Amino acid sequence: MVSVIKTASELGYLKYNEDTIIPIENIKSYPEEKTVIITTGSQGESMAALSRIAGNIHKKITLQPGDVVIFSSSPIPGNEKSISKVINELSMKGAKVIYQDAHVSGHACQEEIKLLYTLTRPRYTIPVHGEYRHLQAHSELCQTLGIPKENIFILRSGDCLEMNSESASVTGSVPAGSLYVDGLGVGDVGNVVLRDRHMLSENGLIVVAMSIESETGLVVSGPDIITRGFVYVRESEELLAELTEVCNNTLDYCIENQLADWGKIKNRFKDDLSDYLWKKMRRSPMILPIIMEV
């Protein structure tokens, strides 16, 4: 925001007295009733300045009862919940929040779009920005201006449009989509990993550990049950005892049926524990059997 104001001023689009804008570090040196703060966060972004102000975690700005907060924006579809959360937090701190009928759209209206097409008279047009219904409305507007329907291309992410002096057509597509950045890793976290993280965040983890003698196949230790994010261990001793009993029964089944494939043994533990926990608690934690050979 600071960069935009600076650039607009240098280009002559925004004119103001230099003494009007003050560094945020000096805000406490001015009367509160004469101070206006222009800040980011109109869409409820968690790390934007307004959200931090509402949550009392901004380092330099503290909201006071009676302050007025104006949202000069309209909610982008999908952001309503986060915006409502910020508005509620501001209201609970005694601020008067104005969030309706205060927004002037930054998008062109139909007549402005018509003027642009009339001045440029393009052969082809590619509606961009917005949801599909907006792109469709843009396409229909272009047709009213005489642009043939076959010369209007509503593209999806990844579509390849090839153009030359005589024609234009969609010739194929390339992989396109969200790229997950996690720390120093870029794109190395796939759908399977994200699914596992989602499961862990909602249902927790159960680890079943045991040691088996390699020559005889006898159990040396375990099965031991370790939980993370599933239940509070000190208050769930009875449940853990029941899970241990399920594991012992599964182990007896594997021994009686001479199951030697460790993959099948692990799957048997997963299935038995999953069935028991779903019937008893309607929960589906991630279950990770670990078998150590000694």
β 205-212/219-228 pair status: antiparallel
Q: Where are the beta strands (DSSP E) in the chain?
A: 68-70, 96-98, 159-163, 168-173, 181-182, 185-186, 205-212, 219-228, 286-293
Residues in the chain, total: 294
Amino acid at 76: I
Tokens 């650039």 identify what position?
7
Give the model confidence (pLDDT) of 228-280 as tens digits. 888 887 788 888 888 888 988 888 888 788 777 778 888 888 999 999 989 98
Examine the pLDDT at 185 and tell me if it is beyond 80.
no
Predicted confidence band of residue 182 (pLDDT cuts 50, 70, 90) = confident
In Å, how far are 2, 218, 284 from 221, measured between CA atoms?
Answer: 64, 9, 26
When mean pLDDT is compared across 61-75, 136-150, 175-189, the lowest value belongs to 175-189
Domain range summary for the chain, segments of one domain joined by +? 2-98, 110-173, 196-293
Domain 196-293 class in CATH: alpha beta
Binned at pLDDT 50, 70 and 90, residue 161 comes out as very high
Cβ neighbourhood burial of 156 (10 Å; 0-12, 13-18, 19+): exposed
pLDDT digits (tens, 9 = 90+) for 24-33: 888 888 988 8
> Given this chain, do its domains 2-98 and 196-293 carry the same CATH topology?
no
Domain 2-98 sits in CATH at: 3.40.50.10710
